[in-house]
Every structure is written in structure tokens, then in C-alpha cells.
Structure 1
């Protein structure tokens, strides 16, 4: 759950966490709250931090720094925030990062490298005007973290009132007067801070004449916004982590009604959602940090996404923590309110959710976020090999045969060529695929995209084949795997039943043993692709005398077998995409049992895991930014354009957070770092469903009366009506929350 994604960053995280616990325990911080509010702090705390070099991790080596970059600095910020490290660390490293972006800031960087504290003062009321060869600044800043007590202050003022054109400069609060004047040109005032562990204040400039030597030329808006937002978001992820850990520890031991409250399902689900929220905040912040080396537009997109996702998440996390703690969490003595206060202050400092939504929406009208994690130079030999095969494929006729509904196309010559070289499912082990890891898969995907070729889709076969490869016998693999890759076999899954949907082990479809095989009778429901499918994987009860999980067997059934009756189900959209399947004395030979009788549950878990992975990694569908852009382009919405732009921003943030979760998981694996269960399939499946639920609802909210008009004139309401397919498929949100609560958080039963 940390921002650390490789071994070096993990080692740094552990070191910083241990340092914070030792140097600034919360009990000690509480004793000095009045000092921190006034901008002073125990000298030994800041001195110890500087001795560790934590203030200069990102600074150039010439100024005593380690040149570690934004991603590594964010790891340190996160760990210090988890410990609620007090004082001016965040405003200081933010100010020094801005100084790094200037073309010439030697004096300022020297001061920061030596351990000077800093702050950043901005605001729409700060105005800069030309005065001869220099500048004069007037106006009052917004509340600035760490301003009282800061030894160096970086300031941004709008030139001639234009917010798009800024003057950056710095001043020393110990000498703020206009040269030659006895009247102070800068007045610093201390405000009552919401965050009790840091000072907050305003700077009022009265015709302040800027020393030309202190002008910071060259600070572009993109890196300034990225560093400022990402570092604040890193603190937010630390808050999310502390709130989750504190909640879990408490609900495991707090008893009500004779048992731990952590055993109550409502409490478990709420806590599991806290874990999901923490993972999402971490992924989005990590994505923002990696944007440091990307073009300006990508930096803006990543920063706005983090502002709209990670910072509000910390507030919600803290509120949930307090509510789960109950009365004790609402007391002054408990530390929860200190984290809540910091979360509020962080979000306020970045500018608020509406502003971030508006900016992200406008940015998304001009560019898409780049989630590539390989370059054109990555794995050149693989690129050349794959490229040669794909060039041959392009020369073949595009002869795939489309099917109805969600079923994949049936393959022909192009699919055969791809399958021969392991490119239908390159992540499968040889001889079916290439055993491709994340980097290899990304390179292959780029080569497909470069030629405007779509990678083959296996549908439910993509869940079934890994099961057969792992658990099937040689005959079953030979019979089914290659033909599925070739597009000759389409699969469906006969698991759910009218009386046992998410309670898979409670199914009643029964199989009785006969000579040479089994006879199956029962009813299945919500079966995607069953009309088009050639084969099905079916779970049936073969032993009613053992515990329900132990009596299940995994069968392979041809859909044209005697006794199989498929009946399409019409959904609320008016479309037939699901089916119910009746099995009436269907004979299945022993050769079509996977593994052994009674192994069904263990094997089904493999299939379901692949299902959750596929759905958690799927392209964002309902409420997608593409749909909102289409709505904006048509102008067919109620309210103002600004209303629709903010919906685009919020929906894009949800979409980007899903992509960031998936990419971070892939990069972590590629780095060889163990991926904990908290980053697993259930977390991504839950968030994928929640994100699409919220996004499709938001899209409908801006339609006004037009929401009453349906397809084909207006597809947006039908996008919302089709949402349950995502909410139910692969296990409902609630079932996944059960898995997270019990298997990941180990909450009591």
C-alpha cells in the first residue's frame, strides 16, 4: 500500500518510518502544538531531520542533495505523514522543489540545502506590475502552510492581473522592507490553523519592490503544479494508511454484543472500502509522481487527477476512521482528529475539488493520459520479432467472423498466424503463449497498436484456459486450449444459479455417477455468451454428504449435448446478453471432468480469479470520459458547459484511477516486488465497479429532461441502465468486500 514500488524505495520507506517514530512520536508532538502553530518547533527535531538528509533528497548534489526525483521524495513525505511528523517539512520541500525549477536560484537552493525552512505563498489577490526594470507586488496571499516561522518564502503573483502569467520570486521574512523605506512592505500574520501540527499564515504585500536578484525565472506552471500537488497527495496517502491501520486495530479488539465489532459485516465492508480507498489514493499519487519526466500536458493531467482523487480520499478516510472508532474517536485525546485536520488543510491548500474537476475536464478535452511504461527502445529484439509476424498478419485477409452479444469473434487465417507465434495470449506459458511478463505484454500491445491491429479477445475463454492449463490433463489441454486460441471454440460459464448466485458453494445442480461418466441435472442463470458458446465449464454437486465446498466437481460440457436448453434473458436495456441454461439429465463422460471429483471448488477459484483480474483490468466503460466528451461536443446536456466539464473531470479522475491501479500493479510485479493481497484482484474489481457506477450516474445527472429520451437518439441513459452487468459480473461489490475483509485484513468472523 506504500508509494514504494521497488526495493530501494521500500528500504527508504522503512528507514523514514522508523526515524519519525523515534524523533517525533505523537505524544511529544502534542506537547508542542502551540509552538508549531506559532511557527517554532523543538530545534532537535528539525536538526535530526536535516542530519538524515530528508530535507534535501530531491535537491541537486551541488547543494547537498541526493537528486532522487519526485517519486522517491514522495515516499519519504508519505512515511512522515503516516507518523504525523510536525512542522514545516512539506512546505519546505515544496518551496525548494519550486526553486529547482527556476533557471537561476543558487542563493535560495544553497539556503535550503543548508537546512533553512520554507513556505510557498500564492493567491489570486497577489498582483505584480512593472516598475522600470523591476517589479512591484501588492495584495494578500491565501493562507500558506508553514509561513509563520519560514526562513525563505517563495511567492507567485499574477502579472498585470493575468492568472496565466506569473512572477515568481523569494524573500527573507527577516528583511521584508522596501529598500530605503522604514515602512514594512510585507506583513506576515498568523492564522488559527486547522492542522494543529503546522503553522498557517498570510503575507500582505504593500507595494513591495522585488529584489531583481531574487526573481525566479523559468518556473513553468506544469512542474510547479505537479510537485505541489503530488507532495500534498503523498501526505494524503500517509493519512489514508494511518486511518486504515488504526481502524483495523480497533475493530479487532472492541467488543459489542459479546463479540468483536470487526466481525459485523457492515463494519467489515466499511473497513474494506477504506482499504480500497487507500489503494486508489496511493496509485493515483504514484502515477502523478511518475509524470515528472513526461511532457507538460501529462503533468497537468496527473496533477489534477491526484488533486481530485487522493486529497479528498484522505478526508473521507479520516471521517470513516472517526466514525468507526465511535465516541472515543471524537475526543480531543484521540489522535484521529489530528489526521482529519491535516487532511482538510492539505485539500484546501491545493485548491478544492470543483477547481480540480474543472481543470481536469478542460485538460481531458485536449489530451489523454499516457499510461505507457515502456519506451520505443524497450526489448528491441522482441519488437522486431513481433513486428515481423504482425506485418505478415496484415497481409492476410481480415476474415474473422463476428458473433452476437459479448462473444468474441471466431478466428480464421489471421488468428491462426497469431496463435502459431503465441501472440493470441502472449502471457500464457509456452507452447500456448510466450510467458510474457508486464513489459513484454506492453511491448506487444504497442506493436499491435502501431499497426492499428486489435489484439484477439477470448471472452470467457480467457478465464477458462488458465484453469485448464493449470488443472487440466494433457488430453484436455490438447483438445481445448489451441482450438480456443484459434477462435474455433467459444466458452461460457455455468456457475451461478437462481438460488445460489454469489453463494457459489450453495449450488444445487447435481451430478450422479453412472458408467463411464456423470449425469447432470439443474438450472444455471446469468450465463454470458451461452447462446453463442460451443462449450461450458460447469460446477455441479457430486457429493452431498460432505461440507458444501468439498462436494463440488468441475465439468466441461458441450452446449449442443442432449438435455442442454439455453433460454436468453432480456435485460432492463431491452437487450439479450445473459441467458439461463437448463440441464436435464445431461451425460458428461469422465474425460470431461477437470482434475478429480470433489476438486471443483479449488479449480473454480482459479477461474474466478482470472475473471476478477480480467474485469478489474478492463477498459473503462460506463460513464467513460469518451462518452462525456461526446456529450459535450453535441451540447445535448442541461445546465452550463461548466457543469458538464466538471462531470468530465470527475469521470476522467475515476477512469484514470482505475488505469493507475492496473499500471502500478504491473510495474510492481515487473520490479520483482512482492504484490500483497491488498493490491490484488478483489481491490481492483471493487474499484472498477464503483468507479463505473459513480461515473455513469454523474453522466445522467447532466442530461436534464433529455434523460427521458432513449436510444438511439441518446445513448447515455442506456449506458446507465446497462451498469448492473459490471456490478454483478465476477462477484458483486459486497462479495469482494467480504473477501478483502476476511482474507486481506484478517478481520474476525
Structure 2
């Protein structure tokens, strides 16, 4: 899913992609490597300027489109995916930073808006001292800088040494570098063959007052730079994914496409997971520019630690899926790989970003609100009044009943059980809960059961089960998996035979959450043993207190018993507890409703979460190590939350949902595994004690296995989303 979310952004993306494909094919870029290294603009530059792709983010008064960093990132992603050569990215980065200055940048920004090429020098190494006439003298060396050779407008930042007051905030000088003997640009042999890179050396370089620029907040500089680099990384990741998938669909080995082999499918599916994360991460950084400054560090840090390294990894994965042909000079993949390596390096070291994001995570939280506070004012007032009343009720059961009667337990359900709330209304209701620090209620297993009853059950079943469950009077469990039918659920052997007044169920179920507490269970059983395995299954509602139901808790490696095995010995199920038609059970079991509950806000991790790392800050050991680990954990969580929010906003815009649900499930499991293991490495000797982080790690299989393993989800993504052959 690209960065573009709105219709206007999608139109902009299409236009940018079409332009790049037509005006700057990679074949033409290959013939111009020498010119690229010198910083020469490509032949397509004048047309790019005429189309305004360099100025979508600039004010209309300067000839720009008056949009913002989010729209500029949309263009950067598409041009990155086309490997557009030359100074585009350094130029728009320079103008984007100047547009965020605390004052009027004057002629420098106007020149960039008119089509001049630019470069931004913000690294350490330049030092400014007063010249005595209102000007400055700058000395030092900085680089490597993207696009510096050949740049027509070079904007630089130099440090101003403290004047005997080290406690004061550091001062900087922003200025336009003038050509002359005191300023030397040295081109370097860049990894990226399609763009110039070089260093800037200044020796007593005089900066008159006319060339001094207003300062730009450091956090905004880092955000703008990271967002645009991440957007280009997203474009590279998408190209690598498409290229690899197209190849493995057609490359024949052993008489079949290599994409039919599971190892290849899983690698391609992991590339999809990475590409989706890179896109969401870059999108989140770009949208942060329109948010308050306290959001900039968090957004920049997660993008630097997510999108940029992912582009490098996905390019290498593309090479290996292509095989030997991917390692040849003639194939374009190494050009994308080189660019990914280059922009990841120019963004700065991962260690520095980990520390910066860790400190930012200690100071604040990322805003993942799906709607603004002014939307749906009448609904807010109504829901807010109910929640205020509920919050004042002393009894928890009374509060749950009040929420159910107000349609707020499952607001997406139809009236009278819910409010028939669409995506936007669900987002507003979720905000009202969050504003009062109230947890949105859940029916747990009922989240899967009730939608099936609403879609396929009769009116009597709906009246009997839906409202009591919403009121908290009924607890459900799911009786699907069996010892011999886990991932291959359709091979289940539990039998249901007709008896007078209903059915008799016999069999064994396993890994049943809440079965020891449940009032009712939904059970998939075989009613036609002669039918094909996906047929002849039926969907039953089972009273867990019925004679013949034997629930036996399973003790896990943690010592706790959260799961159960359930034995059914000729359990009688009345005829009115069959949901839907006989034999239609498989359809019911896999039903995914269009009005499912939207997940709002952060995707929280139970194992290896950022909160766990914060708890270690006061423990013996290196604070610096913990802060860096917190930065890595925060990057994982923030990228998940960004992917979730982007999916919600697509739904709010009436767009079709993509593969986000499976991608979220896959990466959530991976992130929890990575974070949980990393926590153990920080515990030191205390890891030998049965503390909560250690026991969480031992309980990790519940996440990795429950609801389908990572490998099962990867197979789903490979075959159903990427279209690889079975």
C-alpha cells in the first residue's frame, strides 16, 4: 500500500509515476552515470519543474502547490520507485527545510521554487565565528552530502561556539554558501551511481548578512530529512517486492514456478510485510510535519529505524530471489540496492537514532488519532454523556450493562445490539473512551462468535445470545482445533449425529481459551462423514454445562493454565443450536464480516513491549543500553501503530482494506519475539529469577502459535495477496 491515502494523493502518485517512467527510464539513467556523478540534472529536469513536482510542498505565492510534506513524500516515493536520477531528493529536502524556517528564507527558497537545484549541509564540522561587521567567518569540512556536486543553491548550517556560557543552548548559523576560493566541493565515488555525493570544505568563508538565513528547528530538520529518505526507501521496497514476485511466478525449476515452493513463498511474503511496514513508517513521518513539534522526534526516529534499513534488506532479498541474474551488472536491482544503502547511511547511524528515539519515547507518546476532535459533535456529546454516567457507577457489572444498553460494547453491530456505527463513528467513540481513560469493553471470544450469529443465525438465536453476551452475562469459548486438526482445521474428526430433537456430539477439542470459564462454546463438527473435508461440517452452539462436556485445563510451560482440552461424550445439542444450514459450517468458520470492529490507536504488544524496557531504567546496568533498546522497541511498536492507523484511514475514506490484518499479525508476533528476547539480554543475572519479563518470554508460544503461526500467515499472504502459485 503506497503512501497515498486520499484521492488527491493517489492522483498525484499516479502522475509522478507516469512522468518518471516516461521521462527517465532506467536504461537512460544507465547511460548517464558519469553525468550523475558530477551532479548534472537529468534531461527530464525542465519537464519535472514545469509539472511542479519539485514544488508541491511550497507556498502558492512562490509558484508551489501549497500542499505539505505528506504530498511531497508521495512524489518522492514514486520517483524513488522509478530510480529517478539526479538532484531531485536533495533539492526538495533543501526547500522543505527552508519552508520550515522560523523566518522568511528569501531568495534562496524562491530560487529553488523556480527550479534551481539544491543541497543541504547540516552535518557536524562547520564552525562560525563573528566577522565584526555583522557577518560571519565559517571554517571546517562537512559531508558526505547528497547532491552537493553541481548544486546551484547550497544551504549550510554551522555551529557557533559557546562564549563562556556552556549552560546556554547551542547556537547555529544558517546561510547560503557563496561560490569562491574559500568554498570547495569535492565529489566522492558514491555507492549510488545515479546521484552525486560530495564534501564541502570552507576556509575563512565569509558570510555577509544578506546570505544569513533564519534558523530551522533541529527536530524539524531531522523529521523532513528522514521522512523524504524514508519515502524513497518505501518506493525502493515496493519495486523490489514487485520485481521479485513477478520473477518467481515465471521462473521454472523442477517443472514448476519457483514461487510454488514454500521457502520462496515465505521469503516473498516477508518482503511484503517489510514493504508494508516501510510504507506505513514513511507515511507516519511525513504526516507528522503537520502535527505539534513534540511529535517530530518520535516520528523521525521510527522512520529512520524502520523504513531505511528495510529498503536495504528487501533489495538484498530481491537479489537472492532472482538468483544469479540478480547479481549481474545488467539487472537493475543492484542500482536500487545501492541507492538504499546510500540513503540509509546518509540518514545517520542506527545507534544514534536508537538513543534519540529512546529518549523521545521517555518524554512523550505518538498521536495516532484517526479523527479530529471536532468531528461528529452530536455523537461525541451523546456518547460522552453516557460514558460520564458510566464512569460514576460503582459496580462493574452495572457499568457493563449500561454500556451494552447504549450500544457501546460493540457499536459496529446493527441496532438494537449496537449503533450500526461506520468506520468514522467507531473512531469517534474510541476517542471518547480514551479521553476518559476508560477501556473499551470486549466480549473476548464473543468478538468472533457474535458476528457469525448476527450474519448467519436466526432471530431467536440472536435474541437469545447477543444481548446477554454484550451485557457480560455470557462467556464464550471456541471449540475448533483438535489434536489432529490444528492448522488443517478442515480435517477435524469430531462427529455430530442426528438424534431426536437435535444432535449428539462426540470428539476431542484442544487449545480452547476460556473453556474452563465459558458458559457457551461454538463447536465445529462433522455432520456428513462422506463429504469432502471442507464440506459436511456444521456450526453448533454448545452449552458448556451439558452432560458429557469434560473440560481439562492444560498446564503450560509457565505453570499457568490458560488453555484447555475439551472432551465431548455424546453431548446433546438441541436443534435450535445449529447455526445456519447443516453442512455450511466451514463457511461460517471463516466468515470475515465487512463491519468488523476497527482497531483504533496503538497496536499494543504484550511481550517485549516498550513499557517493559522502561521498567529496566532503574535497574542495575547501563542506562544507555536500555535507552537504545527502548528506541528499538518503540520503533517496532510505532511502525505497527502507523500501519494500523493508515489502514483505518483508508477505511474512513471508503477505500478497500488491503493485506494489513495479516501483515499486522505476522509482524506483531515477530516484534514480540524480538523484544522479548532482547529483554532477556538486558536482565543480566536477574534473568535467572522467575521475574515477569522472564515468564513472559516463556509464555511467548501462546502468541506465536495462537490463531495461526507466522508460517501459516505467510502462506496466506503469499498465495492470496501476492498471487503465488500453490
- Class of the TM-score when normalised by the shorter of the 2 chains: over 0.9
Distance 1:582 1:616 in 2: 39
Distance 2:216 2:411 in 1: 44
CA apart distance, 1:519: 1.3
**Mapped contact 1:195–1:342 kept (Cα < 8 A):** yes
Residue number in structure 2 paired with 1:641: 623
CA apart distance, 1:731: 1.2
Distance 2:599 2:466 in 1: 18
CA apart distance, 1:166: 4.8
Moved more, 252-261 or 618-627: 618-627
Residue number in structure 1 paired with 2:35: 35
CA apart distance, 1:194: 0.4
**Mapped contact 1:134–1:210 kept (Cα < 8 A):** yes
Tell me, what secondary structure is at the counterpart of 1:746?
A: coil
**Mapped contact 1:611–1:730 kept (Cα < 8 A):** no
**Mapped contact 2:390–2:399 kept (Cα < 8 A):** yes
Distance 1:451 1:28 in 2: 59
Q: State how many pairs are aligned.
A: 720
**Mapped contact 1:463–1:611 kept (Cα < 8 A):** no
For the pair 1:319 / 2:289, whether they are aligned, the reply is: no
Residue number in structure 2 paired with 1:351: 348
**Mapped contact 1:612–1:730 kept (Cα < 8 A):** no
**Mapped contact 1:613–1:685 kept (Cα < 8 A):** no
**Mapped contact 2:176–2:213 kept (Cα < 8 A):** no
Residue number in structure 2 paired with 1:619: 604
Residue number in structure 1 paired with 2:17: 17
For the pair 1:414 / 2:419, whether they are aligned, the reply is: no
Instruction: Output the aligned Cα RMSD.
Output: 1.9
Moved more, 248-257 or 376-385: 376-385
Residue number in structure 1 paired with 2:123: 123
Distance 2:681 2:373 in 1: 42
The TM-score, its normalising length taken from structure 2, stands at 0.96
Distance 2:429 2:247 in 1: 47
Instruction: Give runs of aligned pairs for residues 500-539 of structure 1, distance below 5 A.
Output: 500-539=485-524
CA apart distance, 1:465: 0.9
For the pair 1:746 / 2:723, whether they are aligned, the reply is: yes
**Mapped contact 1:188–1:202 kept (Cα < 8 A):** yes
Tell me, what secondary structure is at the counterpart of 1:423?
A: coil
- Please list the CA deviations of residues 563-613 of structure 1 after superposition, one character each: whole Å capped at 9, or x if unmatched: 111111111111111111111111112211110111111111126999998
**Mapped contact 1:169–1:210 kept (Cα < 8 A):** no
**Alignment gaps of 5+ in structure 2:** none
For the pair 1:709 / 2:714, whether they are aligned, the reply is: no
- Please list the CA deviations of residues 684-719 of structure 1 after superposition, one character each: whole Å capped at 9, or x if unmatched: 111111111111111112112221111xxx321112
**Mapped contact 2:174–2:215 kept (Cα < 8 A):** no
**Mapped contact 2:412–2:595 kept (Cα < 8 A):** no
Distance 2:233 2:555 in 1: 45
Tell me, what secondary structure is at the counterpart of 2:424?
A: helix
- Please list the CA deviations of residues 78-125 of structure 1 after superposition, one character each: whole Å capped at 9, or x if unmatched: 001111000010000000111112212120111111100001113222
For the pair 1:664 / 2:646, whether they are aligned, the reply is: yes
- Please list the CA deviations of residues 470-507 of structure 1 after superposition, one character each: whole Å capped at 9, or x if unmatched: 11111111110000000000000111111111111121
Residue number in structure 2 paired with 1:409: none
CA apart distance, 1:617: 7.5
CA apart distance, 1:391: 2.2
**Alignment gaps of 5+ in structure 1:** 178-183, 401-411
Residue number in structure 1 paired with 2:86: 87
CA apart distance, 1:155: 0.9
Does the C-alpha gap of structure 1 residues 72 and 283 become closer, same or farther in structure 2, counting only changes over 3 Å? same
The TM-score, its normalising length taken from structure 1, stands at 0.93
**Mapped contact 1:122–1:156 kept (Cα < 8 A):** yes
Does the C-alpha gap of structure 1 residues 652 and 618 become closer, same or farther in structure 2, counting only changes over 3 Å? closer
Tell me, what secondary structure is at the counterpart of 1:84?
A: coil
Does the C-alpha gap of structure 1 residues 616 and 220 become closer, same or farther in structure 2, counting only changes over 3 Å? closer
Tell me, what secondary structure is at the counterpart of 1:143?
A: strand
**Mapped contact 1:312–1:353 kept (Cα < 8 A):** no
Residue number in structure 2 paired with 1:140: 141
Does the C-alpha gap of structure 1 residues 609 and 692 become closer, same or farther in structure 2, counting only changes over 3 Å? farther
Does the C-alpha gap of structure 1 residues 609 and 558 become closer, same or farther in structure 2, counting only changes over 3 Å? farther
Distance 1:413 1:537 in 2: 27
Distance 1:244 1:384 in 2: 46
Does the C-alpha gap of structure 1 residues 502 and 166 become closer, same or farther in structure 2, counting only changes over 3 Å? farther
For the pair 1:731 / 2:708, whether they are aligned, the reply is: yes
**Mapped contact 1:467–1:603 kept (Cα < 8 A):** yes
Residue number in structure 1 paired with 2:202: 205
**Mapped contact 1:168–1:219 kept (Cα < 8 A):** no
Instruction: Give runs of aligned pairs for residues 393-432 of structure 1, distance below 5 A.
Output: 393-397=390-394, 399-400=395-396, 412-432=397-417
Residue number in structure 2 paired with 1:66: 65
Tell me, what secondary structure is at the counterpart of 1:195?
A: coil
Moved more, 732-741 or 372-381: 372-381
Q: 1:491 aligns with which of 473, 476, 481?
A: 476
Moved more, 643-652 or 155-164: 155-164
Distance 1:641 1:485 in 2: 46
Moved more, 247-256 or 6-15: 6-15
